């Protein structure tokens, strides 16, 4: 790809870039210059990561307290591998988007807004917003951002950044709406604290964090402990062959049998008592397979309770927690 191609994609987006960074920006050959610092552009993706943050490396994140947090290169690698293995935007993702994650969002209010898809993966959610939003800024820490660029190529109102969401150089309130689904709980820093820090970017944030099964009976907790013990082992194994075989084995040996049991118990009103059934009945093979992979090969995982989420009311003027799966997804308004 030539430098002319890079220029042709971003030369009509300089006003947006200037608004994001809060200062003068300019383009050179294959790069963006912001306040004297140059960020390379590769395949229309602006690289905000430092060179040492390439896949397979590790870094330390400095906080104002002076504490250094080790950011897991393993998580970056795992999600890059995951979205390379599962790059397609499925028809089922549309149902997830409208019926699940965005059930507490007024979609009409997002028309002509600048929206941030933070931790965008392959761009599956931006895909369904691109025709409505004025602009979308897609951000991901892994190589998945290049898959997102490929999947979303038909739209010209999307900007792509490979970046660490804890170190974004964007100005405050540069977005009208931000969503971050299934991302913050994979950070080594406290996910709720990170959410509060991220809120400087937008007055409204839609977030999904893994729940601590606080609304589930004892046998759900037991099943989780068994699965989590397995995850702590399997997430250390990098072999692609092992990961593929293990994923299919768990899909056929655990997920499908539990879904089938829930289907049998459905006429008796007991299906929701079966772990996994509520989230996966009626789902296709590929959709479930990707979730199994995600579940067992990510080394960092945090879980939160609804009560913990409610503590955010001390920071935000409104916190709306959905009563529907996936638990917990919620909307924070400053």
Q: Is the pLDDT of residue 69 over 50?
A: no
Give the whole-angstrom CA distance, residue 305 versus residue 314: 16
Share of the chain above pLDDT 90, in %: 78
Tell me what pLDDT residue 53 has: 59
DSSP label of 304: B
Tell me what pLDDT residue 65 has: 34
- pLDDT band, very low/low/confident/very high, at 73 (cuts 50, 70, 90): low
Longest dimension (CA), the chain: 66
Give the whole-angstrom CA distance, residue 153 versus residue 136: 13
In contact, 116 and 175? CB cutoff 8 Å: yes
Least confident of 74-83, 193-202, 285-294, 318-327: 74-83
Tens of pLDDT, residues 15-57: 999 999 998 999 988 899 999 999 999 999 999 987 665 553 3
- pLDDT band, very low/low/confident/very high, at 210 (cuts 50, 70, 90): very high
Q: Is the pLDDT of residue 139 over 80?
A: yes
Q: What is the pTM of this model?
A: 0.90
Tell me what pLDDT residue 77 has: 66
In contact, 107 and 166? CB cutoff 8 Å: no
Q: Is the pLDDT of residue 203 over 80?
A: yes
Q: Is the pLDDT of residue 250 over 90?
A: yes
Least confident of 98-112, 160-174, 211-225, 295-309: 98-112
The chain-wide mean pLDDT, for the chain, equals 89
- Give the torsion sign (CA, 222, 211, 184, 116): positive
Least confident of 48-52, 256-260, 271-275, 278-282: 48-52
Tell me what pLDDT residue 324 has: 94
- pLDDT band, very low/low/confident/very high, at 59 (cuts 50, 70, 90): very low
Cα-to-chain-centroid distance, residue 141: 10
In contact, 273 and 217? CB cutoff 8 Å: yes
């Amino acid at each position: 790809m030539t430098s002319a191609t890079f220029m042709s994609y971003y030369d009509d987006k300089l006003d947006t870039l200037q608004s994001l960074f809060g200062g003068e920006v300019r383009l050179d050959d294959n790069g963006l210059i912001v306040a004297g610092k140059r960020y390379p552009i590769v395949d229309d993706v602006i690289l905000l990561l430092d060179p040492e943050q390439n896949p397979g490396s590790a870094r330390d994140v400095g906080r104002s307290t002076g504490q250094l947090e080790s950011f897991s290169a393993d998580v970056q690698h795992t999600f890059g591998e995951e979205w390379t293995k599962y790059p397609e935007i499925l028809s089922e993702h549309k149902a997830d988007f409208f019926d699940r994650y965005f059930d507490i969002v007024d979609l009409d209010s997002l028309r002509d807004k600048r929206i941030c898809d933070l931790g965008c993966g392959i761009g599956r959610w931006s895909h369904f917003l691109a025709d409505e939003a004025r602009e979308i800024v897609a951000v991901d820490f892994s190589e998945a951002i290049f898959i997102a660029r490929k999947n979303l190529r038909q739209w010209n109102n999307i900007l792509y950044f490979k970046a660490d969401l804890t170190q974004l150089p964007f100005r405050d309130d540069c977005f009208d709406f931000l969503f971050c689904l299934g991302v913050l709980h994979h950070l080594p820093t406290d996910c709720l604290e990170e959410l509060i820090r991220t809120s400087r970017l937008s007055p409204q944030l839609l977030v999904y964090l893994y729940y601590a099964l606080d609304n589930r009976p004892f046998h759900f907790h037991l099943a989780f402990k068994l699965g989590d013990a397995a995850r702590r082992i399997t997430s250390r194994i990098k072999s692609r062959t092992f990961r593929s075989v293990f994923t299919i084995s768990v899909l056929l040996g655990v997920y499908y049998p539990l879904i089938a049991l829930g289907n049998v118990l459905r006429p008796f009103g007991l299906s929701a008592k079966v772990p996994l059934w509520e989230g996966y009945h009626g789902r296709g093979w590929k959709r479930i397979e990707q979730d199994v992979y995600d579940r067992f090969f990510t080394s960092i995982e945090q879980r939160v309770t609804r009560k913990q989420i409610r503590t955010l009311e001390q920071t935000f003027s409104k916190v709306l927690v959905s009563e529907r799966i996936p638990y917990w997804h919620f909307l924070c308004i400053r």
